[in-house]
């Protein structure tokens, strides 16, 4: 019997306090030292990922964050899977455009080394593989050099082991953030807002969809509670 999703403390009510006046999906100007990625960049990435004879007809993508609730491209099959050797972490910073600002920069999810991670596996249509991957890379790697390049990983789903593409943090990147406590991360997520919405919205959507899939991430669960607590203190203390 499937367990019903847990009741989150962080809710749409909390998220509404931090909604920007307008949402802009367009890519803003890149930060210093970066440039907007070109179609040639994306095609070169695809070529490097698929060079050599070691590739099957199926192409899978492992999603662990926003790709779970907002896939970047079409897919023909979805499964849940377990990835060993990597864990979901708010380690990609500092975001001053999409879900943060110069005053309150945001932290995004990426996969960092160690532990394990449960997420979603999407199988791409084989006749449109490159088209789908370009859409995916435009979303996840709009600027170069990227701080979390795509790589092949091995994901277990049921009795099957699947080779899948995912995005892992480059610890040598200047955007890699580590060593923050959960309280410090919650402080960031409870205040950062950018052109595509707030970090609270990002966290809420991720935890909500994971729970609906039967995936409980204890770290994110604690964070959503802490973020709701902070938003209530900031916006509802006088009520």
Is-contact 154 53, C-beta < 8 A?
no
How far apart CA 111 and CA 153 sit, in angstroms, is 11
| Residue 150 region by backbone torsions, left for phi larger than 0, else alpha for psi between -120 and 50, else beta | beta
Q: Which two tokens stand for residue 204?
A: 């809420």
Does residue 40 carry a catalytic annotation?
A: no
- Cα–Cα separations (whole angstroms), residue 62 to 101, 152, 155, 161: 29, 9, 8, 12
Per-residue DSSP letters for 72-141? Answer: SS--SEEEEEEEEEEEEEEEEEEESSSS--SSS-EEEEEEEEEEEEEEEEEEPPGGGHHHHHHHHHHHH-
Tokens of 24: 């802009």
Q: 131, 138, 140, 236: which is the annotated catalytic residue?
A: 140
Supply the residues annotated as catalytic: 140
């Amino acid at each position: 019997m499937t367990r019903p999703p847990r009741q989150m403390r962080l809710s749409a009510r909390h998220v509404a306090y931090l909604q920007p006046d307008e949402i802009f999906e367009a890519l803003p100007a890149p930060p210093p030292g970066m440039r907007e990625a070109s179609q040639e960049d994306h095609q070169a990435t695809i070529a490097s990922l698929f060079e050599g004879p070691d590739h099957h007809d199926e192409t899978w993508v492992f999603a662990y964050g926003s790709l779970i609730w907002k896939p970047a491209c079409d897919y023909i099959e979805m499964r849940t899977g377990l990835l060993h050797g990597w864990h979901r972490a708010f380690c990609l910073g500092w975001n001053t455009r999409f879900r943060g600002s110069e005053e309150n920069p945001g932290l995004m999810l990426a996969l960092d080394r160690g532990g394990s991670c449960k997420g979603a596996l999407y199988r791409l249509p084989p006749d449109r593989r490159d088209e789908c991957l370009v859409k995916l890379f435009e979303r996840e790697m709009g600027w170069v050099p990227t701080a979390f390049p795509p790589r092949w990983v091995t994901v277990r789903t049921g009795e099957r082991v699947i080779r899948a593409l995912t995005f892992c943090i480059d610890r040598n990147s200047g955007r890699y953030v580590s060593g923050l406590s959960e309280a410090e991360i919650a402080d960031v997520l409870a205040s950062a807002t950018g052109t595509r919405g707030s970090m609270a919205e990002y966290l809420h959507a991720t935890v909500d969809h994971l729970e609906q899939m039967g995936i409980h991430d204890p770290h994110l669960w604690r964070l959503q509670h802490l973020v709701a607590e902070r938003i209530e203190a900031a916006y509802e203390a006088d009520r």
